[in-house]
Amino acid sequence: MAAVTGRGDPLALGEVLPPPLPPAASSRGSRWGDHEEIAQIPFKILQGHKDAVSSCHFCCEDTKILSSSFDRSVKLWVGVHIQVFEEEHTAPISECSLTPDNKRVITSSYDKTVKAWDMETGKMLVCLVTSCNISYDGKYVVSGLDKENAICITDAVNATTAMYIQDHHRSTVTRCCFDPDNQRVASVSYDKTIKLWDIVAQSTTVTIDEGHSNVISDCCFTLDGRYLCTASWDRTLKIWDIKTGDFRHHGPIVLKEGHQGSVSSCLFSKDASLVVSGAYDKSIAVWDIRTGYKKLTLQGHGDWVMDVAVSSNKKWILSSSKVVVNLHVPFFFLFFLHLHQCEDCEKPFSLLQCNDSGVVTKCVFCRLAMPTRNIMPLPPTCSPDL
């Protein structure tokens, strides 16, 4: 039976993980997470997992956070309250997802199973023998398997296999996901290729060989389905115009020099203006898609970043690591923050008392909106016939 694969993480390659760090003691009472005092952009640390946090998501209109861990549990964070889904998987959980109706949690594990959980009761509903990414209509789950380098599409309601595509790649599938129209599945692999499987035609319609120069670890679509972003161990991200096929003539937009280590995860903001990426260099990068320029680097994790998420309003970035979950909050005021006035928008913004990185005169949002050098325009428009 095939093992459920993750985003090209070292566990899939047999690397032994270090022991988890003990939770840090908090002297400030029972607030939602501990506040780290050495960041220019304040963030919260959500502690509760006992091992690497493999996946994280905003859910329920950004009012809750869902996370999975190698400690074989899934946690739903609601303020200071935590709902735990556990004691069903017998191996580390590689990924978790939430159905569009917010009623079921889907988890995949290295115990070679996928399980569906009732969001309200926390009880397991069904067990599937594959991996985990849910279609936008909530009807299907797509899996990436190390056995036979296959992808499997499973009916999420009755747990039956709808399609099994054997030898879809030449090596282990690291990530697969549905497009927003639920018509195609994108997959990436250790073999450095990108493929799109058409569910209606039941055939591969796009194959990009050597899409990167090293293992491709993650992929994601924009909400309109036009662009596909891929992240790689070659330390770059690439954005492919899948809908028009313009990448065949002009190549992808390449986001580079943002990380010093392999890129492990990527995600578009809902309006597709930003891409957020996490990497093995312990950092998160925020990219402006219009210019192809890195706007921000967020640091604070003590080990490599395994997953990232962006809130709908783009004000919150969620990241998970082998140690803890970090919640980066551009505007979160605590007693030890200094308030300043932005010279552009004239709104107040905060800086930490311990900040010694130089004079900052603009808030993070005005810095994100600043014109940048080396502007990379969007690819020219192309005929719809392509």
Find where tokens 């392509």 sit.
386
In this prediction, residue 346 carries a pLDDT of 72
CA distances from 73 to 8, 91, 119 (A): 21, 10, 14
Are the CB atoms for 262 and 233 separated by under 8 Å?
Answer: yes
**230 residue type, one letter:** T
What are the extents of the domains in the chain?
Answer: 53-328, 336-366
Q: CB atoms < 10 A from the CB of 193, how many? A: 19
Architecture of domain 53-328: 7 Propeller (2.130)
DSSP codes joined into one string, 237-268: EEEEETTT-THHHH--EEE-SS-SS-EEEEEE
Are the CB atoms for 252 and 242 separated by under 8 Å?
Answer: no
Q: Give the pLDDT means over successive 10-residue stretches in the chain (386 positions).
A: 51 36 37 44 82 88 89 85 83 86 84 82 69 84 83 85 92 92 94 95 94 95 96 96 92 93 94 94 92 88 90 89 64 39 71 49 71 42 43
What is the CA 211 to chain-centroid distance, rounded? 20
DSSP annotation of 214 reads S
In this prediction, residue 166 carries a pLDDT of 92
CA distances from 159 to 30, 104, 141, 246, 339 (A): 41, 14, 9, 38, 54
In this prediction, residue 14 carries a pLDDT of 37
In this prediction, residue 271 carries a pLDDT of 93
Paired tokens of 213: 């120069």
Cα–Cα distance for residue pair 325/316, rounded to 1 Å? 13
Q: In degrees rounded to 5, what are phi and psi of residue 369?
A: -85, -5
Beta bridge partners of 252: none
Residue in 144, 120, 141 with CA at minimum distance from that of residue 193: 144
Task: Please count the CA atoms within 13 angstroms of the CA of 355 that sit on its side-chain side.
Answer: 17
In this prediction, residue 157 carries a pLDDT of 79
In this prediction, residue 117 carries a pLDDT of 85
User: Residue 48 belongs to what H/E stretch?
Assistant: none
